[in-house]
Structure 1
Amino acid sequence: MSAAREIRADHDRDSIVIYQAYSDAIADVAVKQQRFGPPFSVGRMTWIKPSFLWLMHRSNWGRKSGQERTLAVRIRREGWHEALGLAVLTAFEPRVHGSPEQWREAFESAPVHVQWDPERSLRGAGLPHDSIQVGLGRAVITRYVEGWTVSIEDLSPKVAKIRKLLDEGRADQAARLCPPERVYPVPAELARRLGM
């Protein structure tokens, strides 16, 4: 079992924060209503990530088209655990799945997909431990939107500030503005399922 796979997140007893990047049209509705609504689509997979810096790497600090707005979505821990309990890894791992056939069958019918990618530093370099991404399929997105979401905060102004500090070479100040993340405790049976 690899210590390189840990879930690090901003969390408390009841909830965990995950990050998503969207266009203005989706972000404006989500922040105003404190839940996702059209033009957000419940008909296609949506990926949620508890790592702020991984999302910054992915969205190029809000500079990618359609990913200009960074949202911090606080969700209920039971929803997070429900998603992880339904998840199948996006790649075959012998100690998790048994055979490639068993994995493929599970993967194709899984309502949730999980992928591990190298965590990122403030400057976007790959780190020696992995960060989790959770893809919510159509079968569970409605639960995410209607049942799990506690609050939605627009972090875009903070992202712009951190990006400016980085551009000015003030990485220490930039790091202090990043959201706090610490190891999230994962129950043993979920850890096995996630290849942790």
Structure 2
Amino acid sequence: MIKEKSTTMVLPIVAYGDPVLRKECEDIDKDYPNLEALLDNMYETMYAASGVGLAAPQIGKAIRVFLVDASPFADEEEMGKEEFELTSNFKRTFINATIIEESGDEWAFNEGCLSIPDVREDVFRQPNIKVHYFDENFKEHTEDFTGIVARVIQHEYDHIEGILFTDKLSALKKRLIKGKLTNISKGKTNADYRMRYPNAKKKR
């Protein structure tokens, strides 16, 4: 018996410095070409890179689509029972999302990004958000999220707004990592997943 090959693909993740990461992305409708395949490929790409979220601009598409699977955070020791249960089962596709409201006292958490490998910094975000979005079946939702889940959503939402987590750092931190960011754009990094570098020198 011949096993049928999977049609999903692991796509290259766009690295820091690519203009697509700075675009304010556009809404799509339910007739967007090959949407189901695109989402499957995005999930495959995210898992291959051990990510907890991935936005369409990170695979080179300036559309308002991102996905989140927060289950890896369920291993955090300090997490309460309620947040553990929410996080361990949280897998969601967000299409045409809008954060309607953010509330609560800002808290710091060490963030990273698949488009910016080898860089992790503390970022302050508010803990509670209300989001309007469509799921993969274009069913409409307005939901409240909190804690780690809210943070991952905020991080991915920033991507479709053309914002990176490094934009939220202090002027001093930005100066300290400037050289590293330049190197990432040139492909001088240790990422163990497929990437596309905007300023890499082509091999002759």
TM-score by length of 1: 0.24
